[in-house]
Structure 1
Amino acid sequence: MSQPPTIAIAGLSCETSTFTPSRTLAPAFHPLRGAQIFDKYAFLRPDTSLGKAAQWEGALIGHAMPGGVVARDAFEELAGEIIERLEEICEEGPVHGLWYDIHGAMVVEGLDDIEAVLLHRIRKVTGPDVLVSASMDLHGNVSRELAHQTDLITCYRTAPHIDVLETRERACRNLVNLLNKSKSDASGIIRPIKAWVPLPVLLPGEQTSTRLEPAKHIYDAIPGVEATDGVTDAAIWVGYAWADEPRNRAAVVVTGWDQTAVCNGAEHLARIFWASHRAFAFVAPTGSFSQCLDAALSSGAESRPYFISDSGDNPTAGGSGDVSWGLTQLLSRPEFQKPSGPTVIYASVPGPDAVHAAIAAGIGATVTVTAGAEIDHIHAGPLTMTGLVHAIKHGDKYAIVEIVLQIGSVFAILTQNPKPYHHEHDFTDLNLAPRSADIVIVKIGYLEPELYDMAKGWMLGLTPGGVDQDIVRLGHHRIRRPMFPFDREFPSEPDLSARIISSSNVELTGPDE
């Protein structure tokens, strides 16, 4: 290669719960094509060191908000376009590398291990010599097949995720370095050694935040392994707890050029993880929704605003976002039925008809509307409420339109489409003051950084929904067993030896252990 290598970019991401009845459709991925990808990833622009290091060719990437299973026709539509665009890129000249931009917990109707399925299709177009670097969420899953089809694979090292762009840039830089190494090697294409260790542990993110022990010291061990001579990258995946596939579990992958160093590093990280598997606990005090409200009401001024995570319907973990159970319970409490009661903000429940009725009535009007449970009515039905229209906002990327309805002392956010509420401006844009509220209830698990810093008190509500934190009661039946915490006792210690995984686009012959 006398010219800079050509690297294509492709991938689809959607953290998918198989326990929510919602379905994810193609528009939810907000696909970016060609040069649009460089608007998202500034580190690849032509004036950057990485941008100059290769000829980057954007095929298609799509990042959907977490939700229900991806409809098969939606996947085939987007995957088909990826293949078509890659064919066009390959017709222009040889492609040397692929940055595979994925999450790792997507589920598509009728297909298992979909990231491996898509990559297999991609490799049929790009050819066997293309080097692939995948970047993932640590809540993704690394099957043996996915490890086999990639040459480099890495994931975030923080939860909440504050190293998203850093991780994606690392995946791209590692790929450029690998291509340059292959270019200078007389034998041509060379591929690193990968050591993969699956672990029989499957826990929700709310028990594995890297802010706290034991996840903190587990993830703090990664840089030491990565700094070892002969190691290129080290990564630990917690796995995704709310999907029921055989691949769902924790995993370690270490990549490099020295087989002994790579294997020792992978086994070291796996042993640290397994040694702490019984120590994982929720990131905050937990309780039923009623217990959380009681605790918030009994707290003093020094604990306000008091945050409550309505965690079972968290749309950023795969919940449908339209479970009305929490808001129904909240509005039934006598403490909040008068405007003079404790100020509560609730975010949020979708209700397109309710939103349109509020818009028609206008700010300051009193309306009676019905919202919620259009998709997920397993736990509660649609909720009818009468309140004052406090605010209206158009143009949100996810919600499209948001309104705030004041019902007694509760300020309920209703949306056209589900939306996560992670930032202070999500509230202040709606003329709400979360720092002055007594209680703020969000459909979330662990609090994202801005909310975490704002909260003076916090409890994690163990509420029902498609991402129920009590994962054992959800009914997994396809995951591998034994698996902690579904099984508390193991007949023997798990095999934490490193499996060397080859890099190739040929079919695997061995089992996905």
Structure 2
Amino acid sequence: MKKLFSTSLLLAILISAVGCQNHKKKLPRIAIAGLAIESSTFSPAVSHEDAFRARYGDSVFSYYPFFAADSGIIDRAVWLPTLRGHAMPGGIVSREAYESLVSKTLDSLKAKLPLDALFFDVHGAMSVQGLDDPEGDFLVRIRELVGTDVLISTSMDLHGSVSPRLAQNTDLITCYRLAPHEDAIESKKRAVTNLLDRLENGKGKPAYKAWIPVPILLPGEKTSTRIEPGKSLYAQIPEVIEKDKVIDASIWMSYPWADEPRNHGVVVAYGDDKEAVGKAAEKLAAHFWNVRKEFDFVAPTVYLDEALEKALASDKKPFIISDMGDNPTAGGAGDVTWTLQEILKRPELKSPRAKSLIYASIPGEEFVKKAKEIGVGGKIDATAGAAVDNRFAPPVRITGTITAIHEGHPNAKTEVVVRNGNTSVIVTERRMAYHYEKDFTKLRLNPRETDILVVKIGYLVPELYDMRADWLMALTPGGVDQDLLRLDYKRINRPIYPLDPDMADPDLNATFIPLSDEIKR
């Protein structure tokens, strides 16, 4: 009897072990891949492969905190990260860099076949030399490798663009709902959880995808969700989502500093109920079009002279001025010297009793090299900037005392502060965007107690926004000029608002995009 009991127990253990193994085998195999950059075709800068700071294999997980051990996500699949590259916005991507990064991704994916699904994480505003719609091209090449049975979920920035080709070759697609993008991680997590849900419930590809092009092309500084009408427009999205009927819906504002046919607003909704999906997309698209004339800059916007005059007359500090035309976080080269030249000309800033001003920043590799040789406390007289974009002003001459040198920044490399009177100029080895108080304090600067803070940026990121006592956005020249009427568009689809303000109302009926059962090239 004991022997029979022992045999039965052993058999039960073996069955349980086999069951556990079978359960593990049933976990879906999901790859992760993506390239992200915003690249201006109105800038002379070119972005190369090293700009993407690509990560491979398990290091890719560092992009995504929701893959933590206790997240409840990591155990729902066998995750197979390949290559994920995220570049600071910049100029057009070289074809060589693009082909290299795509080839490395495909080689890694090939080694991980077969796959059940892919999390495709891109920005959507990449421009590549000699190639339209890079994200669409990238996804086609992935589809040709992994096949049409693989379920693909795409996450994007709302300032990206969605071509019909991209929409067809993905199965689920979403983008951020906030600008500034405080929901970036939340949006990527949504793309992953929607993917897992469709795998686990066995429903696979949603039956319908509605795509509506909206002929609007506006800068992010006019479409922030902090204010109306963007706030209410994006707030409508949760209202149209209805479980499997409408799994998700998204609104893309697109990117105005790339002169490509795909660049215009887009609404996409998808789910299993054709009528509900179509109505959801059409509701959002109609709202988007109807409020087009209400979009305005998120802060008072003037040309630089007026911005400086108001800042100098103000008793509030810090009075922040956004130097928008060369904003590196939107794709500017970051080395346009025009604004700094104008600031250094101002006689009001040269007197001993002048207001304090910080300018952040201008790149100058040779300037930094010379400053390091001189050292903190020494005097310097050298030029910086305009090595890439000299269309508006030549290199700027900066003289004064070196008050700080900081080495080892992952983007800027070495940072130098030069003080002339009450004006402090930050010169960097590589272009850099200054977003946080610690960016300044580590350089012995106190932005909160400075009268005027001039930053190469558009709308303020949250920390600067919370720090401001007053704020103006300055219309300045550069590769991401906010005065769109000054840009020489040749290839975008016309008519489009606001370039054609009196255009007729467009057809905003939903176009149903075919499923990814056939590869659209």
Q: Taking structure 2 as the reference length, what is the TM-score of the superposition?
A: 0.94
Secondary structure, counterpart of 1:49 in structure 2 = coil
Secondary structure, counterpart of 1:312 in structure 2 = coil
Secondary structure, counterpart of 1:52 in structure 2 = helix
1:211-250, CA deviations, whole angstroms, 9 ceiling, x for partnerless residues? 0011011011111112466111111111101000000011
CA drift of 1:47 comes to 4.0
CA drift of 1:39 comes to 2.3
Instruction: Report the equivalent of 1:297.
Output: 312
Give the 5 Å matches for 1:28-39. 28-39=51-62
**Match 2:163 to one of 139, 143, 151:** 143
1:114 equivalenced with 2:114 (yes/no): no
| Separation of aligned partners in 2, 1:125 and 1:338 | 66
| Separation of aligned partners in 1, 2:353 and 2:102 | 54
Instruction: Report the equivalent of 1:79.
Output: 102
CA drift of 1:192 comes to 3.6
Instruction: Report the equivalent of 1:500.
Output: 512
**Match 1:62 to one of 85, 90, 108:** 85
| Separation of aligned partners in 2, 1:48 and 1:457 | 40
One-letter amino acid of the structure 1 residue matched with residue 310 of structure 2: A
CA drift of 1:269 comes to 0.6
1:166 equivalenced with 2:181 (yes/no): no
Instruction: Report the equivalent of 1:357.
Output: 370
Counterpart contact for 2:171–2:205, Cα < 8 Å: no
Instruction: Report the equivalent of 1:464.
Output: 477
1:21 equivalenced with 2:21 (yes/no): no
Give the 5 Å matches for 1:96-245. 96-182=116-202, 189-227=204-242, 230-245=245-260
State the superposition RMSD in angstroms: 1.3
**Match 1:423 to one of 436, 458, 462:** 436
| Separation of aligned partners in 1, 2:518 and 2:243 | 31
| Separation of aligned partners in 2, 1:222 and 1:141 | 18
Moved more, 359-368 or 438-447: 359-368
Counterpart contact for 1:305–1:437, Cα < 8 Å: yes
| Separation of aligned partners in 1, 2:484 and 2:77 | 44
CA drift of 1:505 comes to 5.8
| Separation of aligned partners in 2, 1:79 and 1:214 | 38
CA distance 1:489–1:390, change in 2 (3 Å): same
Secondary structure, counterpart of 1:319 in structure 2 = coil
| Separation of aligned partners in 1, 2:353 and 2:285 | 54
CA drift of 1:339 comes to 4.5
| Separation of aligned partners in 1, 2:34 and 2:311 | 43
| Separation of aligned partners in 1, 2:142 and 2:184 | 24
| Separation of aligned partners in 1, 2:292 and 2:215 | 10
CA drift of 1:340 comes to 3.3
| Separation of aligned partners in 2, 1:47 and 1:278 | 46
Secondary structure, counterpart of 2:481 in structure 1 = coil
Counterpart contact for 2:46–2:94, Cα < 8 Å: yes
Counterpart contact for 1:399–1:419, Cα < 8 Å: yes
**Match 2:266 to one of 245, 251, 257:** 251
CA distance 1:331–1:505, change in 2 (3 Å): farther
| Separation of aligned partners in 1, 2:244 and 2:173 | 18
Instruction: Report the equivalent of 2:497.
Output: 484
| Separation of aligned partners in 2, 1:155 and 1:432 | 37
| Separation of aligned partners in 1, 2:410 and 2:237 | 35
Instruction: Report the equivalent of 1:308.
Output: 321
Counterpart contact for 1:123–1:505, Cα < 8 Å: no
1:276-323, CA deviations, whole angstroms, 9 ceiling, x for partnerless residues? 0011111111111111000101112xx211000000000000000000
Moved more, 314-323 or 382-391: 382-391
CA drift of 1:338 comes to 3.6
Counterpart contact for 1:339–1:407, Cα < 8 Å: no
One-letter amino acid of the structure 2 residue matched with residue 83 of structure 1: L
1:379-417, CA deviations, whole angstroms, 9 ceiling, x for partnerless residues? 000111211001111111110111111122110000000
Instruction: Report the equivalent of 1:452.
Output: 465
- Unaligned residue ranges in structure 2 (runs of 5+): 1-22
- Unaligned residue ranges in structure 1 (runs of 5+): none
One-letter amino acid of the structure 1 residue matched with residue 162 of structure 2: V
Counterpart contact for 2:174–2:249, Cα < 8 Å: yes
Secondary structure, counterpart of 2:247 in structure 1 = strand
One-letter amino acid of the structure 2 residue matched with residue 106 of structure 1: M
Counterpart contact for 2:206–2:270, Cα < 8 Å: no
Instruction: Report the equivalent of 1:7.
Output: 30
| Separation of aligned partners in 2, 1:275 and 1:158 | 20
CA drift of 1:113 comes to 0.3
Secondary structure, counterpart of 1:313 in structure 2 = coil
Counterpart contact for 1:101–1:135, Cα < 8 Å: yes
Secondary structure, counterpart of 2:336 in structure 1 = coil
Counterpart contact for 2:206–2:271, Cα < 8 Å: no
Counterpart contact for 2:48–2:93, Cα < 8 Å: yes
One-letter amino acid of the structure 2 residue matched with residue 69 of structure 1: I
| Separation of aligned partners in 2, 1:40 and 1:497 | 37
| Separation of aligned partners in 1, 2:329 and 2:207 | 34
Counterpart contact for 2:319–2:451, Cα < 8 Å: yes
| Separation of aligned partners in 2, 1:380 and 1:204 | 24
CA drift of 1:49 comes to 1.1
Q: Taking structure 1 as the reference length, what is the TM-score of the superposition?
A: 0.95
| Separation of aligned partners in 2, 1:27 and 1:237 | 28
